[in-house]
Amino acid sequence: MNKNLKINTENLQIFKKFLEEKPKLLILSHANPDGDTTGSSMGLYLGLKQLNLDVSLACIDEIPRNFRFMTPWKEYKQDFNSDDYDAIIFMDCGDKRMTKFHETKPEILTNKTFKINFDHHPTNDLFGEINFVNTEACSTCAITFEVLKKLEIKITPEIATCLLFGLYTDTGGFIHQNTKPFTYQAASELVKAGGNISKISRNFFYNHELKKFKLWGKVLKNLHITEDGAAIIGVYRQDYESMGATRQDLGGIIDIISSIENVKYSVMLSEDEKNNVKASLRTRRDDVDVKALAEKYGGGGHVKASGFTVPNGHLKKVVKWKIVQD
């Protein structure tokens, strides 16, 4: 791959001209935020602030506690009036509905709203009036990095750390198949700009509350491995609420169970606080595509890490028995 990630020149010029008009902008992270949507959103937010623009951040869900070492998390709002903004920027949304705001604000997906689209998922249908979409990119943070550089915005240590966070998490610590030559080049540039990988790993992997481990112990007792090699775990809303925890405290379990020897893929089904059931899917194998499985249920993501949501649902445990003759 080329040393630099390709950015559509025509879209870049349109974006530059649009920014010169000093628009009021809202940057949206997708629901159930991960490291890439938050890292790219915060990095872009900080970069556009350098241009003295009026920029806001929003996410329908709260930012996870171990993401809060990136200071712009304090700027996030959980609600907004779309009429207050000249454009909405969707970050890391392989499907424009991933923000979940369209359920109460359908206008954000209509022609009434000027949409700017930053993403790297192959499922993206280029829904924006301006699209920065490159499926060769390892993460949306990688695309955001290139756009900021081309806008001649100074990559401060704070911006670099936000963007490096997305690169690191979306590649599984630089081990997933989406890790390409450009990934290491971008990571190198971000570290040189002051990106703090130690701070990222310390907060993402080594910053947990006791209640999180107690919750893990409780729900891991229900781990089941099917005959075809799928590791499945179900989590009721009561499981975490009874311990004073939140669904965010489940973060990391899916990766742990996917590391079990001979497991083909892992699935975590969990009830959220809004009466939905969310599914997270992971695999370490090259012959398994969990994205295809997620898409059957209206979700999506990556080949090795995907998910979907079933609205207005709950979990029901089903036990099956069979006779095995010795």
pLDDT of 249 above 90: no
Query: Could you tell me if 12 and 145 are in contact, meaning their C-beta atoms sit under 8 angstroms apart?
Result: no
Q: Is 210-310 the same fold as 9-204?
A: no
Amino acid identity of 203?
A: N
DSSP label at 312? T
What residues does each domain of the chain span?
A: 9-204, 210-310
Provide mean pLDDT across the span 137-158: 96
Provide mean pLDDT across the span 315-324: 83
pLDDT value, residue 2: 44
* Radius of gyration, alpha carbons of the chain: 20
3-state percent breakdown (helix, strand, coil) of the chain, nearest 5: 40, 15, 45
User: Could you report the per-residue pLDDT of 20-61, keeping only the tens digit for each?
Assistant: 999 999 999 999 899 999 999 999 999 999 999 999 999 999
Q: Which CATH number fits domain 210-310: 3.40.50.150, 3.10.310.30, 3.40.50.10140, 3.20.130.10?
A: 3.10.310.30
- Please provide the average confidence, as pLDDT, over all residues in the chain: 92
Query: Could you tell me if 100 and 128 are in contact, meaning their C-beta atoms sit under 8 angstroms apart?
Result: no
Q: Distance between CA atoms of 307 and 295, rounded to whole angstroms?
A: 8
pLDDT of 5 above 60: yes
How many residues does this entry show for the chain? 326
This prediction has a pTM of: 0.82
Amino acid identity of 258?
A: S
pLDDT of 182 above 70: yes
Q: Which two tokens stand for residue 70?
A: 């990136």
Provide mean pLDDT across the span 300-313: 86
Among the ranges 13-27, 242-256, 274-288, 303-317, which has the highest mean pLDDT value? 13-27
pLDDT value, residue 1: 36
9-204: CATH topology is inorganic pyrophosphatase (n-terminal core) (3.90.1640)
